[in-house]
Structure 1
Amino acid sequence: MTAPLTELADVIRSKNTGPYELTLDIIFTEREQYDLVKRERAINRALIADLYHLPPDDVGEPIFYDPAKAVKVNLRRPLASGSVGDTDVYGAQQHGPLLTMVLPTP
Structure 2
Amino acid sequence: MTQQQIVEVTHGESRPLGELAKLIRSKNAGPWMMTIDVMLADAATFEMVVRSGALTADKVGTLLGVNPADIDLYEYSPAHTIKISFPRRLPNGHPDDTDIFGGQQFAPLVNLPIPTSNPQIS
Q: TM-score, normalised by structure 2?
A: 0.79
**Bigger proportion of residues as strand:** 1
Number of equivalenced pairs: 105
- Report the CA distance shift for 1:40/1:5 in structure 2 as closer, same or farther (over 3 A): closer
Q: What is aligned with 1:91? A: 102
Give the gaps of 5 or more residues in structure 2: 1-12, 118-122
TM alignment of 1:18-37, pairs within 5 A:
18-37=30-49
Distance in structure 2 (CA, Å) of the matches to 1:10 and 1:40: 18
* Residue identity matched to 1:91: G
User: In the alignment, does 2:7 pair up with 1:7?
Assistant: no
User: In the alignment, does 2:56 pair up with 1:44?
Assistant: yes
Distance in structure 2 (CA, Å) of the matches to 1:6 and 1:37: 12
Q: TM-score, normalised by structure 1?
A: 0.90
Distance in structure 1 (CA, Å) of the matches to 2:94 and 2:42: 39
Task: Select between 69-78 and 91-100 the one with higher mean Cα deviation.
Answer: 91-100
1:50 Cα offset (Å): 0.9
1:41 Cα offset (Å): 3.3
**Percent identity of the aligned residues?**
35
- The answer to whether the 8 Å contact 1:8/1:30 transfers is no
1:40 Cα offset (Å): 3.9
